Amino acid sequence: MATANSQAFESAPRIDWVDTAKGICIILVVMLHTTLGLEAASGQRGWMHAIVEFSRPFRMPDFFMISGLFLAATIDRPWRHYIDRKVIHFFYFYVLWVIIQFAFKAPFMVMDGNSENAVLRSFVFTFVQPFGTLWFIYMLPVFFVVAKLFKNHKWVLLSLATVLQIVPVSTHDVFALVAKALGVVEVEGHFVLVDEFASYLVYFVGGYVFAPYIFKLADFVRNNVIMGLLGVAVWFTINLTLVLIGWSGLPIISLALGAAGALAIVALATLIADKVKTLTHLGANSIVIYLAFFLPMVISRLMILKFVPWMDAGTMALICLTFSVATPMIGYWIIQKTGLGMFLFHRPNWAVLSGTPWKKSTPKAALVPA
């Protein structure tokens, strides 16, 4: 049996608009990968590309802001407990799913002419350079540790994070040299740990620092629906305009659009949370989708291109998106019903630090959800 503290932590009531916002974000994240992947494979651009570009300024900022919302409730815990919950927790899932994804991709990397040694070096390099779609859970522990180190100087951290976001940080050239020297293959063209740290830390810290005001915004929108709708409409127009004219990536503007978009998703999620329960459910299980959508995405892409290559790229991407979101949820439902494969989405007892509230004293494995 889990300890009382563990039970209290894991059974804390969920907030509907938070889960709805996460549901919106996870769909946009999967949409990005399914759409761009299909467009690259088919050689054509579809109508969903416009949605991907519209959401680019706020898609990840909102995810990181939401991740920082509840940090105040845990940041004062002892380092051992904090590291277990905020670092080892995500490290477990990163390692597990890197192995799963790499096992799937490695044969194709060899078939493309890469030596087995080069593939092995690339696997080892995934612990320096996040692998594929898993970079978000690679970055979260870094953000959590930085926030803990600066917990008594959070405004200083927020100021530094703001400067990092505004000043263009790019490691593309350095990364290219390092990757070539190490002989790694199938990796991104920049150091994620550096570039994405600079790009998104401000939103994570902002969610932590401004959490009380973000919750007040949600309450205001819930009680003032017309004002909430008007605010979302104004944001939509501004975001769309700046994306269309190509200004959305400019310094300061990108920061403003990221923050405004994250708050707009909070408002939108508040407005629709009690009307779109499926979206809320997806958000409550967003980590399941995030970890597992890669395989159904690749499989559905291959099947679509093989059997309906004549279909327009936008519709292809929509089918791939639907399959990539639904399959992990169906798989997770089966796992919950059968009890088989729980380790895929729940951290077992052996991966929990002893002496923490989540460590069970009995031999039977504890399950700490992703």
Quick: pLDDT tens for 68-80: 999 999 999 999 9
Could you give the count of Cα atoms lying within 13 Å of 354 in the half-sphere of its Cβ?
3
pLDDT greater than 50 at residue 5? no
**In angstroms, how far is CA 303 from the centroid of its own chain?**
26
pLDDT greater than 90 at residue 7? no
Joined together, the tokens standing for residue 348 give 């077992």
Would you state the pLDDT for residue 359?
A: 61
Q: How far is CA 254 from CA 157, 167, 190, 244, 247, in A?
A: 19, 11, 19, 14, 8
Q: Domain ranges in the chain? A: 19-336
Distance of alpha carbon 275 from alpha carbon 70, whole angstroms: 24
Distance of alpha carbon 183 from alpha carbon 263, whole angstroms: 42
Q: Worst-scoring range by mean pLDDT, 26-40, 122-136, 202-216, 284-298?
A: 122-136
Q: Worst-scoring range by mean pLDDT, 93-107, 172-186, 295-309?
A: 172-186
Would you state the pLDDT for residue 115?
A: 80
Q: Worst-scoring range by mean pLDDT, 96-105, 167-176, 231-240, 267-276?
A: 167-176
Distance of alpha carbon 254 from alpha carbon 244, whole angstroms: 14
Would you state the pLDDT for residue 332?
A: 96
Distance of alpha carbon 33 from alpha carbon 36, whole angstroms: 5
Residue among 292, 363, 282, 286 at smallest CA distance from 96: 292
Would you state the pLDDT for residue 363?
A: 41
Residue 46 CB contacts under 8 Å (≥ 6 apart), including other chains: 35, 38, 39, 312, 313, 314, 315, 316, 317
What confidence tier does 13 reach under pLDDT thresholds 50, 70, 90?
Answer: low
Residue 204 CB contacts under 8 Å (≥ 6 apart), including other chains: 64, 65, 67, 68, 143, 147, 161
Beta carbons of 131 and 167 less than 8 angstroms apart: no
Beta carbons of 11 and 368 less than 8 angstroms apart: no
Q: What is the pLDDT of residues 228-252, one digit of tens each?
A: 999 999 999 999 999 999 999 999 9
Q: Based on C-alpha coordinates, what's the Rg of the chain? A: 21
DSSP string, 286-334: HHHHHHHSHHHHHHHHHHHHHH-TTS-HHHHHHHHHHHHHHHHHHHHHH
Could you give the count of Cα atoms lying within 13 Å of 315 in the half-sphere of its Cβ?
7
Joined together, the tokens standing for residue 279 give 């979206």
pLDDT greater than 90 at residue 27? yes
- Residue matched to tokens 């994070």: 161
Distance of alpha carbon 352 from alpha carbon 250, whole angstroms: 43
DSSP string, 21-43: HHHHHHHHHHHHHHHHHHHHHHT
| Residues 98-112, mean pLDDT to the nearest whole number | 86
Strand (E) positions, the chain? 346-348, 367-369
What confidence tier does 105 reach under pLDDT thresholds 50, 70, 90?
Answer: confident
**pTM flag (> 0.75):** yes
Joined together, the tokens standing for residue 12 give 């804390």
